[in-house]
Chain A
């Protein structure tokens, strides 16, 4: 079955859109590319054009164009030039619970503890119609289950930590007769490291009271263990604050130096600030140049590389590809090892291209090489030198990320899915949203297949669908042709030139998207390369990474100038992903917050 009327599940929001986007998008769409999210450049998109089929002579949609929405009206021509002189809009002040990865990295750094990631519950995915990440700060809550895990882990870590204290300068605290100076030194050191800042007097006093009561009741060993347990479950450890000084009232504030240090470290590496950052924070507010220099230092670290890999894994839905099997009858070779290796190929390619070959974002979508082992190369019908992942030339017909089998498999079911793939172009690469489908979409399911053409190709089915469900076509024409442009790759990413013995035509014409994207393309790989090279594509990637790493939805109105500034920096750096991250961290809004 090619198009189940209900989604086949999966975390990816593409699947949720498949739920009904492939069926009946009705009055919300009419051959017009959906509104952009968070794009500052005006004058493109809404109210004009659409995406047509290549090779069929279908151009821009001729009818049913809708007027620009009210939300489009405000973006106008707010480019970076227009934004010059505009005041920086500070995001709301907040507290942000450490993610599971950040928690694991932090206890490792502080106590050498190895907590397995699977000990912590899955994070909930937050979807806003364009992005789908599990890093939203507003969704990062502590429920009873997570509190229980924190307690369990704190107890284990504390037990070991007490043994470790015995061999340090704080060993005196384990003695029943430890004096006030020893206790004070231990507590300020423990709290300072765990809370990633200097403790206030009142905090030290509370800790001292707790410790001494516990010592009186249970002895110094238990008191030390209990103190560590309490610190590891304290909100000052579990959350990172973006509040500014304690004395701050309503209005704009600048984050404290320690908050900036923590934000910088976790933004770039998902790990706590290192000694160098903490020392600079202790010395006072970080100058803008210092923040930028520190960002540039951290962005090339191993921890930053690991974080970018996690981002790309979510961005491309690679976990879905690695975990979901396909029909063993149809794809007997697509076992767990191959799935894992294909995922490793894509992540290794991204990592080495950006960090060792030091190539640009654009190259991710145009590269004629990848990093493969023999298993992966064989899947591509080629050979590789070894069992390790090494640089190889891609076979003809493949360039860049959208020709990677893991990416293509994640965008397929047991058949290719031009809907999944088309929505990927629309949402993930272009940051366009789709309207909510009507409630009766499910009843349109019988329009999906031509009963007289059981071996119809995906393109033939699409053409039939357009005729059978014209109300649906209004939206489907905005993305499905783009999805069809990848039909040379089957459901597990193998190359094919025919479908049911009929030649595949992967060409596509794009119009009304953006001046530097509109045109005819021989296939979807060329289209994706053009999107990556365009300003719109870079702006969308900026929005995607910012949503992931800043943990909030980027507001297309309020953040228009921020988006313009950072995209300008991205382009000016010859599309260096590292420099994009440095630009984000160097922006004034990175350290400003608003208290309501």
Chain B
């Protein structure tokens, strides 16, 4: 069993100043009295280039469904899993291409295809709990570009994903050490608050000397400082037996190595472990993992070439290359194995009943945003109803309404053309 380490508030700040509080426990948790592992959380697991729907999803309707071969790895979780088919994105652009990654978690239209309109669902959930989402990526060798624009703090404000496991670990967990007294914690909180107050005053004074865009720069900066200040007043973290990070720390320190395929698997699993441990430690309520691995896309299954190119050869308007489709199916199964890893990890950390997990992509086989197949897992303790194939057709916006409701957000709208959620997927009385 992992060595358990309890931690205190003081250590969130020791040696890190207020900056270490970015992912500190959020204030105003609706279930602050509950152990961290039962507090609602949401995770969007993103993989690129869509799926071969003939093999990915479920057959049969409702509770009489059978997972298709590409999702065989999820069979043991079927009671905690739903498959949503024929899901269209009403926020899709005219272009219907990979740039629509900006619309997947926002479901809103707009003229600029590289811009997200409105906050993405991970930000909406995070704000409900008084914080910000964990936005991690597994990019391998893909640099940040238009295909990594998944999370949006608000309309036009991208939240770039963090690719460094070390940076995320440091922000979240580097402060876990034996407990300090509450008085010492308050002492350090007050010092950090004073420092930030001084910085805010400097910003305000400088703001008086500039106009236009220069003021906007300083306004952004002041908002950022205020967010850090808000964390100083946040609730204290819940100690749980499952919040244990020594093994995770070792893996982060060791770094990633190996060939393309093994390395990518290690990278994705490490990032998923960081997220699930953050949930288990009560340090976050919302996260996205953006998998966009560039050239490793096929190397991981021992092939050559690029996942994107294969998906085009296989179906996307260039032909119907059966060999390419077979490779594409292999990729779907490889990612299904990672999703199964995630579900097992969440289950081991006793999170699965309170964590809603959605597996999304930015495009469908018809090279547009129509007819998505979306596995949704977890959250049965919050009212999510699983073990079903929801294939009547619906919108991505309605999926995000259902997620909102599961998180305790009493809203029946999200993005474009929403109408109260996917019928049957969430029930408040459950």
A and B together in one complex: yes
Binding site for B on A (CB under 8 A): 1, 4-11, 15-16, 93-95, 97, 118-119, 121-122, 124, 138, 140-156, 158-159, 206, 210, 213-214, 217-218, 222, 226, 229-230, 233-236, 238-239, 241, 243, 246, 319-320, 323-330, 413-414, 439, 442-443, 445-446, 595-596
Are B221's CB and A1's CB within 8 A?
A: no
**B residues 312-338 touching A (CB-CB < 8 Å):** 312-313, 316-318
Let me know if B35 is at the binding interface, CB within 8 A: no
Are B94's CB and A234's CB within 8 A?
A: no
Which residue among A143, A214, A327, A596 has the maximum number of chain B CB atoms within 10 Å of its CB?
A143
Given contacts A5-B316, A320-B143, contact A596 B212 (CB under 8 A): yes
Are B313's CB and A148's CB within 8 A?
A: no
Segment at the interface with A among B196-204, B234-242, B371-379: B196-204
* Selected contact of A233 from candidates B21, B147, B199, B218, CB within 8 Å: B199
Given contacts A11-B145, A121-B162, contact A147 B225 (CB under 8 A): yes
- State in angstroms the CA–CA spacing of A583 and B299 once bound together: 49
Closest 3 interchain pairs by CB? A151-B19, A155-B17, A329-B304
Are B16's CB and A152's CB within 8 A?
A: yes
Are A154's CB and B22's CB within 8 A?
A: no
Are A93's CB and B210's CB within 8 A?
A: yes
- State in angstroms the CA–CA spacing of A246 and B198 once bound together: 20
Minimum Cβ distance to chain A for residue B306 (Å): 6
Binding site for A on B (CB under 8 A): 15-22, 94-98, 132, 141-147, 153, 160, 162, 164, 166-167, 170-171, 187, 190-192, 194-196, 198-199, 201-203, 206, 209-214, 217-218, 220-221, 223-225, 227-228, 260, 292, 294-296, 299, 303-306, 308-309, 312-313, 316-318, 367
Are A236's CB and B228's CB within 8 A?
A: no
Are A326's CB and B295's CB within 8 A?
A: yes
- State in angstroms the CA–CA spacing of A443 and B95 once bound together: 10
Are A9's CB and B191's CB within 8 A?
A: no
Across the interface, name the chain B residue whose C-beta is closest to A237: B202
Given contacts A6-B312, A9-B292, contact A144 B17 (CB under 8 A): no
Minimum Cβ distance to chain A for residue B18 (Å): 5
Which B residues lie within 8 Å of A206 (CB)?
198, 201
* Selected contact of A414 from candidates B98, B211, B217, B305, CB within 8 Å: B305
Across the interface, name the chain B residue whose C-beta is closest to A141: B220
Which A residues lie within 8 Å of B162 (CB)?
121, 145
25 A-B residue pairs with Cβ-Cβ distance under 8 Å, sorted by A, are A1-B318, A5-B317, A8-B309, A9-B147, A16-B146, A94-B210, A118-B167, A146-B224, A148-B228, A151-B18, A151-B20, A151-B196, A151-B228, A214-B191, A229-B17, A229-B195, A230-B199, A233-B196, A327-B304, A327-B306, A414-B305, A442-B97, A442-B317, A442-B367, A446-B318
Are A236's CB and B202's CB within 8 A?
A: yes
Minimum Cβ distance to chain A for residue B223 (Å): 8
Are A148's CB and B22's CB within 8 A?
A: yes
Q: Contacts A151-B192, A154-B17 given; 9 further ones with Cβ under 8 A? A: A1-B309, A8-B309, A142-B220, A145-B162, A155-B17, A234-B198, A241-B206, A325-B295, A327-B306
Are B306's CB and A325's CB within 8 A?
A: no
- State in angstroms the CA–CA spacing of A101 and B160 once bound together: 19
- State in angstroms the CA–CA spacing of A329 and B18 once bound together: 49
Given contacts A9-B142, A148-B228, contact A446 B15 (CB under 8 A): no
Are A148's CB and B20's CB within 8 A?
A: yes
* Selected contact of A138 from candidates B213, B221, B318, CB within 8 Å: B213
Which residue among A142, A147, A153 has the maximum number of chain B CB atoms within 10 Å of its CB?
A147
* Selected contact of B171 from candidates A95, A148, A150, A414, CB within 8 Å: A148
Which B residues lie within 8 Å of A140 (CB)?
217
- State in angstroms the CA–CA spacing of A328 and B147 once bound together: 23
* Selected contact of B221 from candidates A142, A145, A152, CB within 8 Å: A142
Which A residues lie within 8 Å of B190 (CB)?
217
Which residue among B17, B228, B305 has the maximum number of chain A CB atoms within 10 Å of its CB?
B17
- State in angstroms the CA–CA spacing of A323 and B140 once bound together: 9
Which A residues lie within 8 Å of B15 (CB)?
155-156, 159
Which A residues lie within 8 Å of B317 (CB)?
5, 442-443, 445-446
- State in angstroms the CA–CA spacing of A538 and B36 once bound together: 62
Which B residues lie within 8 Å of A152 (CB)?
16-17, 19-20, 170-171
Are B19's CB and A122's CB within 8 A?
A: no
Minimum Cβ distance to chain B for residue A332 (Å): 10
- State in angstroms the CA–CA spacing of A336 and B120 once bound together: 36
- State in angstroms the CA–CA spacing of A484 and B205 once bound together: 57
Which residue among A93, A222, A230, A246 has the maximum number of chain B CB atoms within 10 Å of its CB?
A230
Are B304's CB and A243's CB within 8 A?
A: no
* Selected contact of B308 from candidates A9, A233, A443, CB within 8 Å: A9
Which residue among B21, B202, B305 has the maximum number of chain A CB atoms within 10 Å of its CB?
B202
Which B residues lie within 8 Å of A329 (CB)?
303-304
Given contacts A142-B220, A144-B132, A152-B16, contact A6 B98 (CB under 8 A): yes
Given contacts A118-B164, A141-B221, A328-B260, contact A8 B19 (CB under 8 A): no
Which residue among B132, B260, B318, B367 has the maximum number of chain A CB atoms within 10 Å of its CB?
B318
* Selected contact of A8 from candidates B194, B210, B260, B306, CB within 8 Å: B306
- State in angstroms the CA–CA spacing of A132 and B146 once bound together: 14
Across the interface, name the chain B residue whose C-beta is closest to A444: B317
- State in angstroms the CA–CA spacing of A454 and B39 once bound together: 57
Minimum Cβ distance to chain B for residue A567 (Å): 29
Which B residues lie within 8 Å of A143 (CB)?
153, 220, 224
Are A149's CB and B19's CB within 8 A?
A: yes
Minimum Cβ distance to chain B for residue A69 (Å): 23
* Selected contact of B95 from candidates A146, A229, A439, CB within 8 Å: A439
* Selected contact of B227 from candidates A97, A144, A218, A442, CB within 8 Å: A144
* Selected contact of A95 from candidates B187, B218, B260, B312, CB within 8 Å: B218
Which A residues lie within 8 Å of B145 (CB)?
9-11, 15-16
Are A144's CB and B22's CB within 8 A?
A: yes
Minimum Cβ distance to chain A for residue B324 (Å): 9
Given contacts A5-B316, A8-B306, contact A234 B199 (CB under 8 A): yes
Minimum Cβ distance to chain A for residue B194 (Å): 7
Are A439's CB and B194's CB within 8 A?
A: no
Across the interface, name the chain B residue whose C-beta is closest to A154: B17
- State in angstroms the CA–CA spacing of A319 and B294 once bound together: 14
Minimum Cβ distance to chain B for residue A413 (Å): 8
- State in angstroms the CA–CA spacing of A323 and B143 once bound together: 8
Across the interface, name the chain B residue whose C-beta is closest to A16: B146
Are B206's CB and A122's CB within 8 A?
A: no
* Selected contact of B160 from candidates A121, A153, A320, CB within 8 Å: A121
Are A442's CB and B95's CB within 8 A?
A: yes
Minimum Cβ distance to chain B for residue A428 (Å): 18
Are A230's CB and B144's CB within 8 A?
A: no
Which A residues lie within 8 Å of B98 (CB)?
6-7
* Selected contact of A11 from candidates B143, B209, B220, B227, CB within 8 Å: B143
Minimum Cβ distance to chain B for residue A340 (Å): 13
